Structure 1
Amino acid sequence: MDTQDARRAAQLRRAAAAALIGTAIEFYDFFIYGTAAALVFGPVFFPGLGAVGALLASFSVYAVAFLARPLGAVVFGHFGDRLGRRATLVVSLLLMGVSTAAVGVLPGYGVWGWWAPVALVVLRVCQGVGLGGEWGGAALLIAENAPAGRRGRYGAFLQLGPTIGFVLANGVFLVLQLALDERAFQGWGWRVPFLASLVMVAVGLFVRLRLEETPLFAAEAGRVPERPPVVEVLRGHWRSVLVGCGVITVGYAMFYLTTTFALAYATTGLGVSSRLVLSMLLAGGVAMGGTVWASARGSDGWGRRRTLQVATGLVLLWSPLLFPLLETVRRPLMFVALAGSMVVLGCLFGPVAAYLPELFPTRVRYTGAALTYNLGGVVGGATTPLVATRLTEAYGTAEPVGWYLAVLGVVALFCLRLLPETSGTDLAVAGADGGRRRAPVLGADPAA
């Protein structure tokens, strides 16, 4: 291996590490809000609304960040497609980290009155904007450095980031609940995970500031689009955005039903200990990491679309079982319900980091991939806990929520039929012909 090849291989390893660490931190920040919303934000910020009303209010503020994520995708995508991937990823990490830490020192309703939930909404918007720019840039960091034949394999590092963030978020809350009594946890203990974000952000910044720009963007740097990237994406690639959003939605819905909504429903509706549910979700998160890795690597040889079709089929099979198993309140069956969902989710999310960037050309890839991913978050992540809470209240059981998820799975399968297979696509020409053009020699890149 000559000097240039060694440098490219080292850059790829740094890009994978930066994507993994940065995305884990950003999603940790995002997930701790969901856990806190299910466990403590109702009485802290929305007292007097009743149990269901406080939970709906907490989930509504939770949803605000999803609505802000497409804005983050557009803003960070604009600068990422014009100025570079590296700088935007540093800014997104800072915005997310500072906003999260500020939640940790935010006074509750008893001190600030209605200004407390208003400030919570503002900080949640900042979180959403930051995360909206994070995933797309991190995906490109890997995709534009990785060899064509191993893009799925290296994309697995990015998709492990949310899994690690989720495990960290639930692990910290579980440790605090085991170490503190209920009064201390409700009073100040829940703030610790938010404040800890500052330390993690410092680590992420150290890693990201050592990165170089991706070679594909460097080659395109002199060709600035005449129109803003978002305009070009919506005019020339709107089908990929719309159909890709339909594919992503079911994954978001299943994730937040299994974690945020199931945690709230099990603890407040079924009377199960939050410590028990957090322990089950923690174990499920570890299992999810394994299937993320397997499906991402498998998509290089088997195909992105085919892998996603099989994973979505598993969603259809599992959806009607999730909440009936949970409602038995029998520990083994509850664990099967939650861990089984996390395993299916890993299969579903694994290939996404490679698939979405392969649908768009370099000049608008950041905006296109980020917008698609985050619009799926609006439909699947923002609305699903609210819909699930209403369905459960109306029918007295969460079983209809599983059928709602199955409907989203059918929509995802239909959308997958409309998308091309992109495994092995040459990113230098991706998006110009529907993603069907292949790299001349798969796996020939020296960095492989």
Structure 2
Amino acid sequence: MSTTARSATATTAATTATSGSPDPVIPAKTPRKAALASFLGSTLEYYDFFIYGTAAALVFPALFFPADAPAVGLVAAFATFGVAYVARPLGGMVMGHFGDRLGRKNVLLVTLCLMGLASLGIGFLPTYDAVGVLAPVLLTLGRLIQGFSAGAESAGASTLTLEHSPEGRRAFFTSFVMTGYAAGMVLATLVFVPITALPKDQLMAWGWRVPFWCSVVVLAIAYWVRTRLDETPVFEEAREEGEVRKLPLGQVLRHQPGAVVRVLFMSIFSVMQTIFTVFGLSYATAQGGLDRGAILTINAVTIGLSILAMPALATLSDRVGRKPLLIASMLGCAVALFLYFGALGTGSLLVAFLASVLFMTVLYSGFNGLWPGFFAEQFAAPVRYTGMALGNQLGLVVAGFGPLIGGLLMTSGPVGWVPVAVFGAACAIAAAIAVIASPETARTPIDELGAPARR
């Protein structure tokens, strides 16, 4: 036996003699690597989200539904957009269960593959003219798979990054979950803007498929990074200490039902995002008379700027607390949504741009940069993935149907958007009340978060 081997054996024996068993090997925290992995996963999720929403607003009504009823086709296309949010809670509960039972990393690899392959598949679907009613059925199936996967992605990425983050900087590192959202939106726009400039026959024939095919590139990069990430030390410690639960869903509903409900209501605020990116795009082009390529560019720039705003506001929340910034963001957006629709109605691209910067870059970033950490901080490690996924995804059902609700609330005339803005403001106020009722977590050590669920 070599000297090194004898030394290692002696060390192990000494440890065993002292403690009765070898000390478990707990992986070190790697916050930068975790943040990158979550960033890329969110980039793929929101790239898929945006290309689907854009296609639903611009081409799906004509491609996947009967051409003799365009208004019905638009509502139906928005319904297929929203149906993914019905599948999200199921995906969150199923994959959250395995994430709390088996670990965060491997479950996130599965959700990533489901999401990317579903998007790729949508890019190959036959249209209504080719296969009739089978076309919208297949489109809905692909969207349901996307939703199932996305229901587990954001909660898992937030949990993984939170548990790799150092104390005092949890909001900063978890904010990269949603900078991925901004990157995905920008990337999708860079792909879609030249596509929308194609002649209409080429756009309808094959152009709309290209953004869906391109999702495989983001999938490959994100998968490669995640395979090189360790499981979180928080989960490994919970497993070593016997805190892993056989039924995390039952545990969180027993000990932290209030946290689930509060996260649910806070998540409803995300309706602002779907109204801005999907319904706003449809309204600006159909009612405001603005060029669709110009609006896509405005959306990309304002959301792209939030890549800088979100980490900055998250860092501020690590110092002053989460709740003040979240409340200010929600109430500010409730007012700014009226300004945004009013700006679209002017027909001026400059006014629309300035209103978009205020709404999306400044105010909405105060929510988007903080919620991944704040929601995850509401729960204890043994049920964190499940609890966050359940509350978050149930709340997002409302957000998913935001464009459909907006289309139903819209009335005729230059101020027909007012009922839509009132709906968004009501969701913002409900979310702010939920924030007020939630505990401040900025300075709570990670092993004390959600303590009741540890019993």
Aligned: 1:204 with 2:222: yes
Deviates more, 1:224-233 or 1:159-168: 224-233
Q: How many angstroms apart in 1 are the aligned matches of 2:253 and 2:278?
A: 32
What is the 5 A alignment of 1:186-265? 186-222=204-240, 223=242, 225=244, 227-250=246-269, 252-265=270-283
Specify the alignment match of 2:3 in structure 1: none
Q: How many angstroms apart in 2 are the aligned matches of 1:33 and 1:363?
A: 34
* Contact 2:189–2:300 (Cα < 8 Å) also in 1: yes
Tell me by how many angstroms 1:395 deviates.
6.5
Deviates more, 1:423-432 or 1:187-196: 423-432
The equivalent position to 2:108 in structure 1, one of 89, 94, 97, is 89
Matched residues, number:
425
Specify the alignment match of 2:312 in structure 1: 294
Which whole-Å deviations, capped at 9, do the CAs of 1:232-268 have from their partners, x for residues lacking one?
Answer: 2222211111111211211x11111111001111122
Report the AA paired with residue 253 of structure 1: V
What is the 5 A alignment of 1:132-211? 132-178=151-197, 180-211=198-229
Q: How many angstroms apart in 2 are the aligned matches of 1:168 and 1:340?
A: 21
Report the AA paired with residue 128 of structure 1: G
Deviates more, 1:70-79 or 1:399-408: 399-408
Q: How many angstroms apart in 2 are the aligned matches of 1:319 and 1:26?
A: 25
Specify the alignment match of 2:295 in structure 1: 277
The equivalent position to 1:325 in structure 2, one of 343, 347, 360, is 343
Stretches of structure 1 lacking an aligned partner (at least 5 in a row): 1-6, 436-448
4+ residue stretches of structure 1 with deviation over 4 A? 224-227
Specify the alignment match of 2:16 in structure 1: none
Tell me by how many angstroms 1:393 deviates.
3.6
Aligned: 1:391 with 2:409: yes
**TM-score, reference length from structure 2:** 0.90
Report the AA paired with residue 207 of structure 1: V
Q: Structure 1 residues 88, 49: CA separation in 2 closer, same or farther (over 3 Å shift)? A: farther
* Contact 2:260–2:391 (Cα < 8 Å) also in 1: yes
Report the AA paired with residue 233 of structure 2: P
Which whole-Å deviations, capped at 9, do the CAs of 1:47-94 have from their partners, x for residues lacking one?
Answer: 235232111000000011011111111011000000000000000000
* Contact 1:170–1:282 (Cα < 8 Å) also in 2: yes
Q: How many angstroms apart in 2 are the aligned matches of 1:325 and 1:27?
A: 26
The equivalent position to 1:114 in structure 2, one of 129, 133, 154, is 133
Aligned: 1:50 with 2:83: no
* Contact 1:321–1:402 (Cα < 8 Å) also in 2: no
* Contact 2:103–2:231 (Cα < 8 Å) also in 1: yes
The equivalent position to 2:40 in structure 1, one of 3, 6, 21, is 21
Paired residue secondary structure (1:196): helix
Q: Structure 1 residues 257, 302: CA separation in 2 closer, same or farther (over 3 Å shift)? A: same
Report the AA paired with residue 199 of structure 1: V
Tell me by how many angstroms 1:227 deviates.
4.8
Q: How many angstroms apart in 1 are the aligned matches of 2:115 and 2:75?
A: 24
Specify the alignment match of 1:35 in structure 2: 54
RMSD across aligned positions (CA): 1.7
Report the AA paired with residue 104 of structure 2: R
Paired residue secondary structure (2:126): coil
Paired residue secondary structure (1:359): coil
Q: How many angstroms apart in 2 are the aligned matches of 1:318 and 1:174?
A: 26
Aligned: 1:307 with 2:328: no
Q: How many angstroms apart in 1 are the aligned matches of 2:314 and 2:56?
A: 31
Q: How many angstroms apart in 2 are the aligned matches of 1:434 and 1:313?
A: 32
Tell me by how many angstroms 1:229 deviates.
1.2
Aligned: 1:415 with 2:434: yes
Aligned: 1:123 with 2:154: no
Specify the alignment match of 2:18 in structure 1: none
Q: How many angstroms apart in 2 are the aligned matches of 1:49 and 1:347?
A: 43
Aligned: 1:316 with 2:334: yes
Once the two structures are aligned, what percentage of the paired residues are identical?
A: 36
* Contact 1:82–1:224 (Cα < 8 Å) also in 2: no
* Contact 1:149–1:423 (Cα < 8 Å) also in 2: yes
Report the AA paired with residue 305 of structure 2: A
- For the pair shown, the structure with the greater C-alpha radius of gyration is 2
Q: How many angstroms apart in 2 are the aligned matches of 1:188 and 1:122?
A: 21
Stretches of structure 2 lacking an aligned partner (at least 5 in a row): 1-26
Aligned: 1:404 with 2:423: yes
